[in-house]
């Protein structure tokens, strides 16, 4: 996404869009892009080039994401082990068992069999 930041709440900043497209606003409140007011979650079509961002009162940042990416999920991201249903404790125990085996038989220490 494109981060939009200003030094002070309600400040004005400039940003560039490299790829024209529809962008969704993520912010704590209303902002203005090129003079047009946008509410959080609104979608705006931006052409490639320079644009102006005015933060709302008590805001210094917002984010524009590709609108085609869909809605941001409410759930927190999970790691690969949890995603694939692997018990983290069992995976760590198996990894320790493998490491002990390597040490016992001289593998991983520069020596060979």
pLDDT score for 30: 94
Cα–Cα dist 103/99, whole Å: 6
Nearest Cα to Cα of residue 58 among 14, 28, 33: 28
Supply the pLDDT for residue 73: 62
Considering the entire predicted model, what is its pTM? 0.60
Rounded to an integer, what distance in angstroms lies between the CA atom of residue 14 and that of residue 5? 9
Quick: pLDDT tens for 43-101: 999 999 999 999 999 999 999 998 876 565 666 766 776 777 777 777 777 777 777 77
* DSSP label at residue 17: E
- In angstroms, the CA 61 to CA 12 distance is 11
What was the pLDDT predicted at 113? 47
Confidence (pLDDT) at 108: 53
């Amino acid at each position: 996404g494109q981060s939009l930041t200003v030094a002070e709440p309600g400040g004005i900043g400039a940003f560039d869009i490299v790829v024209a497209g529809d962008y969704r606003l993520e912010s704590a409140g209303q902002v203005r892009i090129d003079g047009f007011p946008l509410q959080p979650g609104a979608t705006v079509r931006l052409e490639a080039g320079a644009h102006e961002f005015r933060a709302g009162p008590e805001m210094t940042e917002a984010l524009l994401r590709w609108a085609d990416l869909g809605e941001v999920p409410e759930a927190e991201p999970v790691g690969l082990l949890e995603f694939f249903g692997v018990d983290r404790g069992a995976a760590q125990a198996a990894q320790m068992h493998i490491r002990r085996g390597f040490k016992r038989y001289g593998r991983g220490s520069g020596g060979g069999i």
